[in-house]
Amino acid sequence: MAKIKLEYIWLDGYTPLANLRSKTKIIDGDPAKLKLADLPAWGFDGSSTQQAEGKSSDIILKPVALYPDVTRKNAFLVMNETYLHTGEAHPSNSRATIADDANTWFGFEQEYFFWQDGAPLGFPEGGYPSPQGPYYTGVGYKNVGPIARKLVEEHIDLCIAAGINIEGINAEVAKGQWEFQIFGKGSKTAADQMWVARYLLSRLCEPYGIDVEWQCKPVRAPFNQPLDWNGSGMHTNFSTKFLREKGGKEYFEKLMAAFNKYRDEHIAVYGPDNHLRLTGLHETQSIDKFTYGLSDRGASVRMPVNFIKDGYKGYLEDRRPNSAADPYLVAGRIIKTIQTVKV
């Protein structure tokens, strides 16, 4: 028997942007044998997280995914759903209600800014660094600064050790902006991993006095001056069994017609303030249009370069979800729209 540390993680009730919350539970057990089914339900004070009134404040945490945490001895990260006493899912529990399908695969490209003292990491005090250009996939102190690479590399190792399918990282177009990619099968598996990867990054930055800024357009123009700094997306790549194995132009066009039909329903869950980011500039399509194109980074949905050559087969990239979107809702909506199309 050992003392096992379980970090119970959940999403709070803040809108439009839920925050990650967590607290530690210590149990006795054998860390080598711990399984999700062994984990007890737990609770918290929902009146402190905008999830309950003070007079009936207990919200129940129900473990749904388990990951090793190598930063602490005998420790695990536990992703949870939130429930009311009545047994109903809490209204903020997006995971409980979404469509899922293990044959629909997702690859999320999470962009974000490192943020320090009210500005992106590496911005000079009170001003702007030299314009965008050299930062994307850049190398060297003047492009990435002294500390960002250390953080992103530690983040990769933490994700790998947790069994999270991180697929890569890169420095992004704006100074202080980075990206990591997470791949998973099914809306819940993929999105659980994304939320825990977000958690690991935010926690990792704490001792450096750095925050992770998830908002989609944190660098804005003062006094309506034009300002050429990218926003942050969470491009969502997806494929169904049918798209991977059969595909074809006819099916693809039907699928895109459904995406066009449900454009508003998609945009509604693609993250707050997306009108600030989906402007038609900075590799985006404007928020009120739906377009698709081969290799087109100005389209709503991009077909990867070989998609048509391969017979309209493979995966597609929905470029509209933003960095602050809830990946449960994004993936769930994509599956729901796919399910409206007959193969």
Amino acid at 321: P
Q: Which is nearer to ligand ADP, 51 or 193 (CB)?
A: 193
Q: H or E segment at 167?
A: strand 166-171
User: Residue 285: helix, strand or coil by DSSP?
Assistant: coil
Q: Which is nearer to ligand ADP, 13 or 107 (CB)?
A: 107
Does 109 help bind Mn ion (rule: CB under 5 A)? yes
Q: How far apart are CA 91 and CA 84, in angstroms?
A: 9
Q: Provide the β-strand partners of residue 211.
A: 115
Does 318 help bind Mn ion (rule: CB under 5 A)? no
Closest separation between CB of residue 181 and Mn ion, Å?
A: 6
Of 188, 203, 217, 235, the one binding ligand ADP by CB under 6 A = 235
Q: Output DSSP code: residue 84.
A: -
Structure token pair of residue 290: 């739906």
Of 238, 252, 259, 307, the one binding ligand ADP by CB under 6 A = 238
Which listed range, 84-92, 233-241, 273-281, 335-343, lies at the site for Mn ion (CB under 5 A)? 233-241
Of 80, 181, 187, 193, the one binding ligand ADP by CB under 6 A = 181
> CB neighbours of 168 closer than 8 A, spacing ≥ 6?
180, 181
Q: Which is nearer to ligand ADP, 83 or 238 (CB)?
A: 238
Of 76, 105, 114, 214, the one binding ligand ADP by CB under 6 A = 105
Q: Which does 107 bind (CB under 5 to 8 A by kind): Mn ion, ligand ADP, none?
A: ligand ADP
Q: Which does 271 bind (CB under 5 to 8 A by kind): ligand ADP, Mn ion, none?
A: none
Q: Which is nearer to Mn ion, 189 or 322 (CB)?
A: 322
Count Cβ atoms below 10 Å from residue 85 Cβ, excluding itself.
10
Minimal CB distance to Mn ion: which residue? Answer: 235
Residue closest to 68 by CA, chosen among 56, 79, 76: 76
Structure token pair of residue 228: 């050429």
Tell how far CA 131 is from the center of its chain. 27
Rule CB under 5 A: which residues touch Mn ion? 109, 179, 235
